[in-house]
């Protein structure tokens, strides 16, 4: 059986990667969403193993020490990370795994999993990105400007990705992700020798 793909959808905040991933999972129910681990407390309604794997700081740090994360970050006193095992198990079973993640996280994943499929989501325009950041929260003007400048800088990291999608139309953007997944499954990789042998054996 062929291995599944690790599909990493990433980009600056406000580019719309969350909406794209949600819609992708609706139309491609066989794709598995990678569930993150965190040390923060569950919020009302959050389900263990669905929204997050909730764990103690000590356990999280043990997993870090055992190199059990594809990536992790420490944000406002809590850890967040992507457990390696889930991705490994599912892809080994031939399932595609989707990871929706910020740029710093994606770059960490790429170091450990270079054969993943790295997709960068760009907003339709910088103007539009600013509007989205403004509409997102109740932040001060200075905070908005800072967030916007961070996104502006982060866009340069697109160079490290395999694909770039401009999110000017949600349906089109989702279609593009689906096309990328379909195309990646047709790619000639080092496994091709095995495929040829299998193919020729049957005569």
Please give the C-alpha separations between residue 64 and each of 68, 73, 158, in angstroms, as whole numbers: 6, 11, 27
Stretch in the footprint of a second copy (CB under 8 A) among 15-23, 45-53, 68-76, 181-189: 181-189
Q: Is the dihedral of CA 46, 51, 53, 56 positive or negative?
A: negative
Nearer to a second copy, 32 or 119 (CB): 119
Instruction: Decide if residue 149 touches a second copy (CB under 8 A).
Output: no
Positions 50 through 69 that interact with a second copy (CB under 8 A)? none
Choosing from 29, 66, 159, 171, the residue that interacts with a second copy (CB under 8 A) is 159
Instruction: Decide if residue 126 touches a second copy (CB under 8 A).
Output: yes
Matching residue, tokens 């170091």: 111
50 phi-psi bin (left φ>0, alpha ψ -120 to 50, beta other): alpha
Instruction: Decide if residue 178 touches a second copy (CB under 8 A).
Output: yes
Q: In whole angstroms, how close is the CB of 57 to a second copy at the nearest point? A: 37
Q: Measured between alpha carbons, how far is 60 from 117 in angstroms, rounded to an integer? A: 26
CB atoms under 10 Å from CB of 66, counted, come to 9
Instruction: Decide if residue 86 touches a second copy (CB under 8 A).
Output: no
Choosing from 162, 167, 169, 174, the residue that interacts with a second copy (CB under 8 A) is 162
Q: Measured between alpha carbons, how far is 80 from 75 in angstroms, rounded to an integer? A: 7
12 is in an annotated binding site: yes
Q: Measured between alpha carbons, how far is 182 from 120 in angstroms, rounded to an integer? A: 17
125 is in an annotated binding site: no
77 is in an annotated binding site: no
Instruction: Decide if residue 144 touches a second copy (CB under 8 A).
Output: no
Q: In whole angstroms, how close is the CB of 13 to a second copy at the nearest point? A: 16
Choosing from 38, 82, 120, 147, the residue that interacts with a second copy (CB under 8 A) is 120
76 phi-psi bin (left φ>0, alpha ψ -120 to 50, beta other): left
For residue 79, the SS3 value is strand
Name the residues that contact a second copy, by CB under 8 A.
119-120, 122, 125-127, 152, 155-156, 158-159, 161-165, 175-176, 178-180, 182-184, 186-188, 192-193, 195-196, 199-200, 202-203
């Amino acid at each position: 059986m062929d291995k599944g793909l690790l599909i990493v959808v990433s980009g600056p905040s406000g580019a719309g990667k969350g909406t794209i991933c949600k819609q992708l999972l609706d139309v491609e129910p066989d794709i598995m969403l990678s569930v993150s681990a965190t040390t923060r407390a569950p919020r009302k309604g959050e389900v263990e193993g669905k929204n997050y794997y909730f764990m103690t700081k000590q356990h999280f740090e043990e997993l870090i020490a055992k190199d059990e994360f594809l990536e992790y970050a420490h944000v406002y006193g809590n850890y967040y990370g992507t457990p390696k095992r889930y991705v490994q198990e599912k892809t080994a079973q031939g399932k595609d795994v989707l990871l929706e993640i910020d740029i710093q996280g994606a770059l960490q994943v790429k170091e450990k999993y270079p054969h993943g499929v790295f997709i960068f989501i760009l907003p339709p325009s910088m103007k539009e990105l600013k509007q989205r950041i403004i509409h997102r929260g109740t932040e001060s003007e200075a905070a908005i400007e800072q967030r916007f400048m961070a996104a502006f800088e982060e866009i340069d990291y697109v160079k490290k990705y395999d694909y770039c999608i401009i999110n000017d139309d949600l349906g089109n953007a989702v279609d593009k992700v689906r096309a990328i997944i379909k195309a990646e499954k047709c790619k000639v990789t080092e496994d091709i020798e095995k495929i040829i042998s299998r193919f020729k054996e049957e005569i």
